[in-house]
Amino acid sequence: MTDYPSYSFDTASGPLTLACIDIDEPNNGRMLYKVTLKLGELDVTEKYFGGWNYINFNLDQYQPVSPDQTWIYIPQEGDHFLINANTLEKILLAYVPLSAATFKSNHFIENTLLIINSNKIIAKNLDTGKEYLLEQPDNSTYFKAASILDQRKIQLLISNGTQIIVSAHTLITVD
């Protein structure tokens, strides 16, 4: 039997478990995990995922929960979302096409969820709900890597070799 990742979270309504149950390749090397989401013994997969219960396959740099345990990030392909552990509210994030191929990492930095994709970077303020987007510079370049410099800045390496430093909270270029 194959060991698939599973993640458990404490919520105000009891334990929430995101379990990878299978691997699927819908087309041309686009690898995804098929998942279930359970609140205690109750299957809530349909409620949160609708009819598409698949998450990104590359979970090496996946940080599922905020340090204060309030926010749970679910990397559903394309329509990724947050779950508030206190209210179980689902909060959709900016759509990322083909996120299975573009997702690199996510990070919780202070009150911000930072999601790094090769074609788009998203910073979501968890207090205000405001979302900031940084798109790939052009169709011939992409975000190759991101380094967290401190609680305020990240350094982005672009595929053409250039580097920029942006605010971790607003994605605005800083010095």
Residue 173 belongs to some domain of the structure: no
Residue 174 counted as domain residue: no
Distance between CA atoms of 82 and 153, rounded to whole angstroms?
23
Q: Is residue 39 one of the residues assigned to a domain?
A: yes
pTM: 0.94
How many structural domains are present in the chain?
Answer: 1
Asked whether residue 124 is assigned to any structural domain, the reply reads yes
Q: Which domain holds residue 163?
A: 6-167
Residue 113 lies in a domain: yes
In sequence order, what are the beta bridge partners of 43? Answer: 38
Dihedral angle sign, alpha carbons of residues 163, 166, 171, 174: negative
Token look-up 């009819």 returns 51
| pLDDT tens, N- to C-terminus, the chain (175 residues) | 578 999 999 999 999 999 999 999 888 778 999 999 999 999 999 999 999 999 999 999 999 999 999 999 999 998 999 999 999 999 999 999 888 889 999 999 999 999 999 999 999 999 999 999 999 888 899 999 899 999 899 999 999 999 999 999 999 998 7
Residue 29 CA to residue 32 CA, distance in Å, equals 9
Contacts for 35-39 with beta carbons within 8 Å, 24 or more apart? 37/74, 39/11, 39/13, 39/14, 39/15, 39/88
